[in-house]
Amino acid sequence: MSDTARCVVVTGAGQGLGRSVAMAFAAQGDAVMVSDIDGARAASVADEIIAAGGTAASAPADVSSELDVIALADAAVSQLGVPRVWVNNAGLTRPAMLHKMEVDDFDLVLQVHTRGTFLGTREAARRMIAADVDGLIINVTSSAGLQGTIGQINYSAAKGAITAMTKSSAKELARRGIRVNAIAPVAATPMTEKLRVDEKLAGRFLDSIPLGRFGEPDEIAAAFTFLASDGGAYVTGQVLCVDGGLYMAS
């Protein structure tokens, strides 16, 4: 590993957008800690990075578990160095109409998204502050958290909380040299597969996107690396919508 390689932690990186984000950071020379609740998937992505000549390690983590997130941060420090970029990407969905939604499904989505983002942000900030280094935390929100969506009140609530946490933590951590931003993507990933394969749902959703398509994970990953580049150094407390114009058109 190069002495100048940054440690970048990406949660939910075993597939989909998280995998693409991990690969994008690795391709530009960063040392990536690939994390996922599925440890085998995380290890596979790390192996792929290493096979391509990059630097990576992996660690399983349930981001809703405080002990898991602490262990993930410790593993990153011991294997790759103090995290300079931390991406809170892990998530899931449990869709249902409001009157049919079970409390357990509401709680689970908030635990993974909201609690997971809080824990990742806290542990990243603790280590950046202790090492006295500048850093960047990137959260993943959604248009659902900006404007709501039908059949996903749990997801909308969780993503809305992430938007608010992003702004609050950006204000709090700026004096420490730590920037916090969020990205709201519309990506062709396993999480959106049901929406994309259902002809009726897909048609209705695509009609609401001015560019008329889902973003590819690799092109959305470029927004993450931009925020972590010199070009993004003056950006904090922002929500970057990489959504083909969805939020603009709403």
Q: Which residues pair with 187 in a beta bridge?
A: 215
Of 25, 86, 106, 155, the active-site residue reads: 155
Q: Tell me, yes or no, whether 208 lies in a domain.
A: no
**8 contacts: CB under 8 Å, gap ≥ 6:** 22, 25, 30, 31, 32, 33, 83, 84, 85, 86, 87, 228
Residue 234: active-site member: no
Taking Cα atoms as reference points, which of 160, 135, 134, 136 lies closest to residue 148? 160
Q: Tell me, yes or no, whether 32 lies in a domain.
A: yes
Q: How many domains does the chain have?
A: 1
What are the residue ranges in the chain where pLDDT is below 50? Answer: none
Name the burial class of residue 178, with classes exposed (0-12), middle (13-18) and buried (19+) by CB atoms within 10 angstroms of its CB: buried
Residue 190: what pLDDT?
Answer: 65
Between CA 88 and CA 218, with CA 228 as vertex, the angle to 5 degrees is: 70
Say whether pTM exceeds 0.85: yes
Q: Tell me, yes or no, whether 170 lies in a domain.
A: yes
At 135-162, the pLDDT tens digits run: 999 999 988 888 888 889 999 999 999 9
Q: Tell me, yes or no, whether 55 lies in a domain.
A: yes
Q: Write the CATH number for 148.
A: 3.40.50.720
Q: Tell me, yes or no, whether 79 lies in a domain.
A: yes
Residue 249: what pLDDT?
Answer: 61
At 159-197, the pLDDT tens digits run: 999 999 999 999 999 999 999 999 999 876 666 656 656
Q: Tell me, yes or no, whether 213 lies in a domain.
A: no
Q: Tell me, yes or no, whether 174 lies in a domain.
A: yes
The domain of 38 spans 7-184+218-249
Taking Cα atoms as reference points, which of 57, 53, 31, 27 lies closest to residue 42? 57
Q: Tell me, yes or no, whether 19 lies in a domain.
A: yes
